Structure 1
Amino acid sequence: MTNPADMVPFAKTMGIKITEMTKEIVRGEMLVRPEICTAGNGRGTPSIHGGAVMTFADVLGAFGGFANLPEGANGTTTSESKTNFLNAAPEGETVYGEATPFKVGRRQSVWQTRISLKDGTLVAVVTQTQIVL
């Protein structure tokens, strides 16, 4: 499968890779590179920036909305997003995301994305609404 995220310039810049995409689930991964980390401020290893976490989740949820577009729709856009930050993701680790829908309708879909480390440590939970254009 070619990486659908490569069609979105910002997602490609962030290094997001979509590994599975259906109407029921979107999975992806992203390496925590120095360019998407906080400074660390001398308190240990730099970790993923909150904006990178939100971007990763937004891309996965948006692709879920896109996979569920009704015929004749032009695309989706995020109208709301809420993030709960739970744990750090250290530089050099890979984060894994899984977006699943709470509801898919004709005019909007609501997605929950769980972002975790390889060992299952939950980094963040994001809930977002995608509006059909």
Structure 2
Amino acid sequence: MIWTTPPTLEGLNASNQDTAASHLDLTFTEFGDDYLIAEMPVTSRSVQPMRMLHGGISCFIIETLGSVAGMLCVPKPGQQYIVGTEINASHLRGVPEGNKVFGKVTPVRIGRRVQVWQVDISNQAGRLICTGRINCQVLMM
């Protein structure tokens, strides 16, 4: 297991209260030894004018999942925190309003000062709609 702070679904979802994640209804639904999964409905809050998932929202999912996973892996919990320093996303297909998307974050590298996380976002049929990476820096509080 990679987590220095073991996750719980209650804790993960409580950390989203009063944030962009709660505004967009992003909910953590599963975790394992080296991954987290969250789902989010595609609603009027997350679409572009063509009523498809906005690409920036896919970046938001990458940023959120990578940062949350990163915080669970800091070497000194309670003394360190994570900031995203670089993000990239490849948008592969659209998702119409009224559907759900599912993000899965897995580690590429978990270092003492730098972490790299891979996030794959799929539609309800399990087809990949976006893939991205976020680099995070580990900082002292």
With normalisation by structure 1, the TM-score equals: 0.89
Provide the residue aligned with 2:39 in structure 1. Answer: 29
Closer/same/farther in 2, CA of residues 6 and 56 from structure 1, 3 Å limit: farther
Higher helix share: 1
Contact 1:60 1:99 in 2 (8 A): yes
1:99 corresponds to 2:105: yes
Runs of 4 or more above 4 Å deviation = none
Name the SS for the 1:38 alignment partner. Answer: coil
Q: CA deviation at 1:23?
A: 5.7
Distance 2:130 2:14 in 1: 23
Pairing of 1:1-133 with structure 2 (within 5 A)? 1-2=9-10, 4-8=12-16, 9-22=19-32, 24-40=34-50, 46-71=51-76, 73-133=79-139
**Cα offsets for 1:40-63 (capped at 9, x unmatched):** 1xxxxx110011111011111111
Q: Which amino acid aligns with 1:61?
A: G
5+ residue gaps, structure 1 = 41-45
Q: List gaps (5 residues or longer) in structure 2.
A: 1-8
Deviation at 1:20, TM superposition (A): 2.5
Counterpart of 1:35 in 2: which secondary structure?
coil
TM-score normalised to structure 2 length: 0.84
Q: Identity percentage over the alignment?
A: 27
